[in-house]
Chains A and B, each alone.
Chain A
Amino acid sequence: AQSVTQLDSHVSVSEGTPVLLRCNYSSSYSPSLFWYVQHPNKGLQLLLKYTSAATLVKGINGFEAEFKKRETSFHLTKPSAHMSDAAEYFCVVTFSGGSNYNLTFGKGTLLTVNP
């Protein structure tokens, strides 16, 4: 069994300040974890993925996430928010080696960036 919880449904930051989007997971097996971003009226785009290699994962547009097994977390961070980062972000879990039929999506976190 697996599940994912995005701890904030909405996060608001000012441009130039750090971004933190929180994700906790549970999985009976070693997990594979992903962050996807969805801009308004667009499909989802992969930001980054963790698949049991380095625990600190770097993605596109300056985002990164750290896999913390003991805390069962995979939080997404960015040092300095840009207006173009305003979007909805989804944390996704499956088990390592599992199929794409078994992806579990979080409910999403809407990121607002204020000028």
Chain B
Amino acid sequence: DAGITQSPRHKVTETGTPVTLRCHQTENHRYMYWYRQDPGHGLRLIHYSYGVKDTDKGEVSDGYSVSRSKTEDFLLTLESATSSQTSVYFCAISESRVGANVLTFGAGSRLTVL
């Protein structure tokens, strides 16, 4: 997980509260991604970024927003958390957008919404 730090690593919150997860990289990679991992679903893309202030939606973006004001930071925000957003969230980075380019993943952030 060298080069990517996710914070917090664990969080318990209540329904309706806002939550922000942070992904910080030291690799200077242009592309950053947020995934969620749920049992029986593999990983699903929430949002991605292809540069500072350049972001777009992934497969499961409803209820989530992102921001990228610096190359090294990519924030994922749940404006009003729901129990269905209980999951493990992974940040990933890559040097280019091409599919053959390997993703490097962070260690994950486990979110529990009560």
| 12 residue pairs from A and B, CB less than 8 Å apart | A9-B40, A49-B102, A97-B100, A99-B97, A100-B31, A100-B98, A100-B99, A101-B48, A102-B99, A103-B45, A103-B103, A105-B42
| Count of chain B residues near A, Cβ 8 A | 27
Contact B43 A98 (CB under 8 A): no
Q: How far is the CB of A65 from chain B (nearest CB, A)?
A: 15
List the interface of chain A (C-beta within 8 A of B): 9, 32, 34, 41-46, 49, 51, 90, 94-103, 105-108
Q: Which B67-99 residues have C-beta < 8 A from chain A?
A: 90, 92, 94, 97-99
Residues of B within 8 Å of A51, CB to CB, are 100
Residues of B within 8 Å of A106, CB to CB, are 42
Contact B105 A100 (CB under 8 A): no
Residues of B within 8 Å of A90, CB to CB, are 42-43
Q: Is B18 an interface residue (CB 8 A)?
A: no
Q: Which B37-53 residues have C-beta < 8 A from chain A?
A: 40-45, 48
List the interface of chain B (C-beta within 8 A of A): 1, 4, 31, 33, 40-45, 48, 56, 58, 90, 92, 94, 97-103, 105-108
Question: Among the listed A34, A97, A107, which residue makes an inter-chain contact with B40, where contact means beta carbons less than 8 Å apart?
Answer: A107
Known contacts: A90-B43, A105-B44. The answer to whether A43 contacts B105 by CB under 8 A is yes
Q: How far is the CB of A94 from chain B (nearest CB, A)?
A: 4
Residues of B within 8 Å of A42, CB to CB, are 1, 107-108
- A107: nearest residue on chain B (CB-CB)? B42
